[in-house]
């Protein structure tokens, strides 16, 4: 007995729409969004901090003793935004990935490696400091920016830092972050901290994202098979790919539009 085609397509679509692959893709898309936020905010922050050292005109504007110094105030507002976004996003991606990976891959070699690599990064002083800085910014105060004027190749340069004394007014620093602050003779020079963390972060997440197809090899095969069946049912066995089905549909729409245009042209 021939199966009712519309019913078969509906049943197949239900399997496709509820497939594990789509659920996991959606959750990994969240991680990719968090990843972009970290990279964009961190790269912007590093670029702005570097600019005050490389651009003598900007350094001179920063040091002007005028009230208000709109250049300096605007600059600090700009880097405060990116620092806050960076610290919040790096915390989010760790929390989200732990939940997602524990849910879907608890007994895999990937999850074991992820835990080991994450533990290694978390022990890094730059990562620890930025993670604690997120809590400082969320629960205690705005970034305590300060700067000093130096000279690089005889050109003035503004070295942007976080005020050490202001940071130490908060009692929420973890021991290793507190050690980093106390062992710094002057204020906390943020640029190398951000650069080091971004390097570690990008290397780690390039590895993570490369694991998706390996983790879902069987899911991908099953999903492709379901879509092939869908294409077969929708075209009476003519096509095996939903890409081909969609392309054929778009071409039919274009052809319909061309015919309508030709008919309209006849009456002009």
176 in the same domain as 53: yes
Segment 200-221 shows an average pLDDT of: 96
Identify the pLDDT of residue 56. 87
pLDDT tens-digit map of 3-54: 566 788 888 888 888 899 999 999 999 999 999 999 999 999 999 999 999 9
Boundary (domain end) residue, out of 182, 200, 216: 216
Using the predicted structure, report yes or no on whether residue 1 has a pLDDT greater than 50.
no
pLDDT for 84 equals 97
| Residue 242 sits in the same domain as residue 205 | no
Answer yes or no: is pLDDT of 249 > 80.
no
pLDDT of res. 157: 87
Mean pLDDT of 175-195: 94
Number of domains the chain is built from: 2
Structure confidence by residue, pLDDT tens digits, 223-245: 888 888 877 777 777 867 767 76
Choice among 76-90, 110-124, 198-212, 217-231 with the minimum mean pLDDT: 217-231
Residue 72 has which token pair?
Answer: 């300096």
Residue 212 shares a structural domain with residue 139: yes
Is there a single domain that holds both residue 26 and residue 127?
Answer: yes
Report CA 248 to chain centroid distance, whole Å: 36
Q: Which helix (H) or strand (E) holds 188?
A: strand 188-189
Identify the pLDDT of residue 203.
Answer: 96
Question: Can you give the residue range of the structural domain that contains 205?
Answer: 20-216
Question: Do 47 and 75 reside in the same domain of the chain?
Answer: yes
Torsion of CA 171, 172, 177, 179, to 10 degrees: 30
Indicate if 173 and 241 belong to the same structural domain: no
Predicted local confidence at residue 237, as pLDDT: 74
Residue 112 pLDDT class (50, 70, 90 cuts): very high
What's the burial of 241, exposed, middle or buried (CB within 10 Å: 0-12/13-18/19+)? middle
Residues 211 and 250 in one domain: no
């Amino acid at each position: 007995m021939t199966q009712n085609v519309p019913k078969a397509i509906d049943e197949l679509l239900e399997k496709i729409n509820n497939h594990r692959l789509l659920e996991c893709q959606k959750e990994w898309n969240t991680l990719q969004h968090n990843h972009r936020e970290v990279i964009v905010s961190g790269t912007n922050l590093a670029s702005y901090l570097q600019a005050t050292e490389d651009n003598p005109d900007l350094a001179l504007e920063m040091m002007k003793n005028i009230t208000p110094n709109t250049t300096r105030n605007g600059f600090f507002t700009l880097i405060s935004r990116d620092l806050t976004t960076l610290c919040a996003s790096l915390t989010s991606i760790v929390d989200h990935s732990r939940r997602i990976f524990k849910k879907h891959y608890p007994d895999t070699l990937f999850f074991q490696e992820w835990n080991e690599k994450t533990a290694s990064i978390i022990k890094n002083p730059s990562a620890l400091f930025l993670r604690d800085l997120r809590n400082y910014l969320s629960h205690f105060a705005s970034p305590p920016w300060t700067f000093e004027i130096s000279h690089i190749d005889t050109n003035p340069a503004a070295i942007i830092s976080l005020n050490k004394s202001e940071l130490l007014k908060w009692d929420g620093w973890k021991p290793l972050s507190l050690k980093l602050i106390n062992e710094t003779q002057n204020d906390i020079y943020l640029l190398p901290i951000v650069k080091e963390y971004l390097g570690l972060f990008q290397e780690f997440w390039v590895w993570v994202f490369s694991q998706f197809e390996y983790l879902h090899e069987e899911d991908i095969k099953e999903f492709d098979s379901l879509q092939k069946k869908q294409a077969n049912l929708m075209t009476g066995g003519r096509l095996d790919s939903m890409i081909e089905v969609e392309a054929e549909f778009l071409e039919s729409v274009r052809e319909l539009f061309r015919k309508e245009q030709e008919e309209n042209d006849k009456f002009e």
